[in-house]
């Protein structure tokens, strides 16, 4: 018998018996325990090749996870796309690369690379940066400047110097009478430049001053900046204040007229706002730019296909077709999606196959709960209650056959490295699940509960330090109040199997042949 469906993503809640600071294991979570014992349940893969990443050693993330959930298929993603393009050499044949090199040569300018300096493989990979720097020298580029955003989130929290040293060694090898490259500026990813969903434009403004204008605290080297800030404020990498590398008081690499700029992050959410600064410079009004250099700007990928942003990009993104939303619109199904700001784009843009627009304004309703602009470990319950209230109202309304939400707590609080706060974050999600479960029982909805990747299940690294990155754990999957006789199959399932599962419960088994099979019998 077909039933309407509620889908809940507990972001960053992995499921494992390993206890490396396992905040999920140690949280008080009676609802999750009930779902994973008394109702049909299993675990599914949310990392590696199951979500289109290069290997099973690659951690999943919310973007590829929600792509897989929303489209029911596996596409080459992020790092894998870029790896393939660099290995084939296609990236250097792309019009954006050729255009960037030609522009700076014509104007005797510099080539700037801006991006996350790590091998976390979630937003970027330092190997891509190094490959492009070496190619730039081969093609006769004389000046390269790197604006290094420090990670400490997808990699150990104080590992920045490892990547700085690696990059400095590359420059030491390449620099000669015909070429000079160096780090020009930097700062922590949660302090400058990499805001997302327009939650805090002041981050981008600080980055603009640092990278473009050379307006910031000055140091003789990146290493000196990092070590000084750590000594002064005990900062982890992601929260290091911005800095400018200077020769005396003169910045070594401001972004000026005639330069080319490449944002080498491949993940889109934290690349959109910085890209808007360049592509929309003539009409930009989010902050006073002060300086508007005439440059050639390109991104590693096109970060927003609907907005065509940026207009110049090095690697074609996956062209995702046959998404769940598109299929449900064709069937006339009314759907509702909600999350707070931090994961709203995942429930909408990434869910719909990297599309900012709805497939149907009439059939799809999206609602955003504004996130607080504070460190998440200071309020680990975040906006879970507000999201829950909107979910319960949507269920009670009877307007929608498919309702979905994301609780960001396990991921966003987990990224702070604060174990105690993360336990509270997981408990907040669990507490709110009860209200949705009760509403589903009252109004006879089936509820599917899962995560998009691990994080809060592994909060301590091998050295005993706080771990802020995602994990490789499988994630829980449970079916509450399903159709009579519902059982989970035995098998090797991943996030991409969820779309067919939703449609099977809704009563539609004529979903696209490209989709993976459902998880339930």
User: Residues with catalytic annotation?
Assistant: 62
Q: CA 320, CA 43: separation in Å to the nearest integer? A: 25
Q: Cis (ω within 30 of 0) for the bond into 310? A: yes
Q: CA 275, CA 67: separation in Å to the nearest integer? A: 22
Cβ-contact 520, 501 below 8 angstroms: yes
Q: CA 160, CA 521: separation in Å to the nearest integer? A: 48
Q: CA 285, CA 274: separation in Å to the nearest integer? A: 13
Cβ-contact 376, 456 below 8 angstroms: no
Cβ-contact 74, 52 below 8 angstroms: yes
Count helices and strands in the chain by DSSP H and E runs: 16, 16
Please list the residues that pair with 476 across neighbouring strands: 43
Cβ-contact 336, 367 below 8 angstroms: yes
- DSSP-derived letter for residue 109 is -
Burial class (CB in 10 A: 0-12, 13-18, 19+), 140: exposed
Cβ-contact 304, 313 below 8 angstroms: no
- DSSP-derived letter for residue 57 is T
Cβ-contact 241, 191 below 8 angstroms: yes
Angle at 300 between CA 454 and CA 61, to 5 degrees: 5
């Amino acid at each position: 018998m077909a039933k309407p469906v509620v889908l809940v993503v507990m972001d960053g809640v992995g499921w494992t018996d390993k206890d490396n600071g396992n905040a999920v294991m140690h949280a008080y979570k009676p609802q999750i325990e009930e779902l994973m014992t008394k109702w049909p349940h299993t675990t599914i893969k949310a990392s590696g090749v199951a979500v289109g990443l290069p290997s099973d050693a690659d951690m999943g993330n919310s973007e590829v996870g929600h792509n897989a959930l929303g489209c029911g298929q596996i596409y080459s993603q992020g790092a894998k796309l870029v790896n393939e393009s660099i290995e084939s050499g296609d990236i250097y044949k792309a019009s954006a690369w050729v255009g960037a090199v030609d522009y700076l040569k014509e104007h005797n300018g510099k080539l700037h690379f801006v991006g996350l300096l790590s091998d976390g493989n979630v937003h970027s990979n330092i190997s891509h940066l190094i490959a492009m720097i070496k190619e730039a020298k081969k093609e006769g580029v004389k000046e390269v400047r790197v604006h290094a955003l420090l990670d400490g989130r997808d990699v150990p929290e104080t590992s920045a110097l490892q990547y700085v040293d690696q990059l400095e060694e590359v420059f030491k090898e390449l620099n000669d009478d015909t070429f000079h490259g160096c780090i020009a500026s930097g700062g922590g990813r949660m302090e400058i430049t990499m805001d997302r969903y327009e939650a805090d434009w002041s981050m981008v403004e600080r980055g603009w001053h640092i990278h473009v204008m050379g307006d910031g605290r000055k140091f003789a080297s990146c290493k000196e900046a990092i070590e000084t800030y750590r000594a002064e404020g005990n900062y982890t990498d992601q929260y290091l204040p911005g800095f400018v590398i200077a020769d005396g008081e003169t910045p070594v690499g401001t972004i000026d007229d005639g330069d080319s700029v490449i944002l080498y992050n491949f993940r889109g959410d934290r690349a959109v706002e910085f890209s808007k600064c360049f592509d929309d410079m003539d009409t930009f009004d989010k902050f006073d730019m002060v300086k508007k250099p005439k440059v050639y700007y390109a991104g590693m990928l096109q970060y927003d296909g609907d907005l065509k942003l940026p207009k110049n990009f090095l690697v074609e993104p996956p062209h995702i077709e046959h998404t769940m939303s598109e299929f449900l619109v064709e069937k006339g199904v009314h759907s509702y999606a909600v999350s707070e700001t931090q994961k709203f784009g995942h429930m909408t843009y990434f869910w719909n196959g990297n599309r900012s627009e709805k497939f149907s304004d009439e059939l799809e309703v999206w609602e955003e709960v504004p996130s607080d602009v504070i460190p998440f470990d200071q309020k680990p319950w975040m906006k879970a209650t507000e999201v829950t209230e909107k979910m319960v109202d949507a269920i009670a309304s009877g307007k929608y056959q498919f309702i979905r939400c994301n609780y960001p707590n396990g991921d966003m609080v987990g990224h702070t490295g604060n174990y105690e706060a993360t336990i509270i974050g997981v408990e907040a999600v669990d507490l709110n699940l009860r209200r949705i479960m009760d509403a589903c029982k009252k109004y006879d909805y089936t509820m599917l509960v899962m995560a998009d990747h691990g994080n809060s299940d592994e909060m301590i690294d091998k050295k005993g330090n706080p771990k802020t990155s995602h994990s490789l754990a499988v994630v829980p999957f449970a079916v509450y109040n399903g159709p009579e006789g519902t059982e989970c199959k035995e098998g090797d399932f991943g996030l991409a199997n969820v779309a067919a599962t939703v449609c099977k419960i809704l009563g539609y088994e004529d979903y696209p042949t490209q989709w993976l099979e459902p998880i339930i019998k």
